[in-house]
């Protein structure tokens, strides 16, 4: 490891300590990787690419030392809950639509096979401009 790499790691660990004790000097003090990067004066991508172990260590310390769930995990949990609700609603809707499809298919079959016809004379094919009269009852 070169000296610059070791200096970055030391700054990140010091920034972790400051954030976890509530003594942030540069960042907004939130317990996120973004705030950690600002506090350590390193690019956020350095934490996500070169110092992944420190990022995981930070989140582990957030869980154990502050008894909090990291903000990103909390957002993900809310998203998962919302998506599970959406899937459940859609499954219910699909089940209802399948039942309706079955009922409509049965109704269609009854009508096609003539069992749904009303009693009486067969309909006569008439043109659109002719209105048939009903026979009088007298």
Tens digits of per-residue pLDDT, 20-60?
Answer: 888 888 888 888 889 999 999 998 898 888 899 999 999 88
Determine the Cα–Cα distance for residues 69 and 23; give it in Å rounded to an integer: 19
Same structural domain, 38 and 14: yes
Count CA within 13 A, CB hemisphere, residue 131.
0
Determine the Cα–Cα distance for residues 40 and 26; give it in Å rounded to an integer: 9
Expressed as residue numbers, the domain containing 54 is 3-68
Residue 129 domain flag: no
Residue 89 domain flag: yes
pLDDT at 64: 86
Residue 126 domain flag: no
pLDDT at 136: 64
Same structural domain, 52 and 91: no
> What are the tokens at 57?
């260590």
Quickly tell me which residue has 């610059």 as its tokens: 4
Domain end position, chosen among 36, 68, 100: 68
Same structural domain, 8 and 41: yes
pLDDT at 109: 85
pLDDT at 6: 87
Q: Which residues, other chains included, contact 97 with Cβ-Cβ below 8 Å and sequence gap of 6+?
A: none
Same structural domain, 59 and 109: no
Q: Which residues, other chains included, contact 77 with Cβ-Cβ below 8 Å and sequence gap of 6+?
A: 69
Confidence of residue 132 (pLDDT cuts 50, 70, 90): low
Residue 131 domain flag: no
Residue 137 domain flag: no
Domain tally for the chain? 2
Q: Which residues, other chains included, contact 74 with Cβ-Cβ below 8 Å and sequence gap of 6+?
A: none
pLDDT at 62 over 70: yes
pLDDT at 124 over 90: no
Same structural domain, 64 and 77: no
pLDDT at 138: 58
Question: Each residue of 66-120: pLDDT tens digit?
Answer: 887 777 788 889 999 999 999 999 999 999 999 999 999 988 888 887 654 555 5
């Amino acid at each position: 490891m070169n000296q610059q790499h070791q200096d970055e790691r030391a700054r990140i660990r010091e920034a972790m300590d400051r954030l976890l004790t509530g003594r942030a000097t540069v960042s907004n003090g939130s317990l996120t990787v973004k705030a950690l990067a600002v506090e350590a004066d390193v690019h956020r991508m350095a934490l996500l690419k070169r110092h992944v172990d420190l990022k995981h260590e930070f989140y582990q310390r957030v869980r154990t030392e502050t008894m909090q769930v990291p903000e990103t995990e909390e957002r993900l949990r809310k998203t998962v809950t919302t998506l599970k609700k959406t899937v459940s609603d859609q499954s219910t809707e699909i089940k209802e639509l399948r039942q309706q499809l079955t009922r409509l298919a049965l109704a269609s079959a009854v009508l096609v096979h003539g069992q749904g016809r009303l009693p009486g004379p067969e309909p006569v094919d008439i043109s659109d401009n002719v209105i048939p009269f009903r026979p009088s009852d007298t």
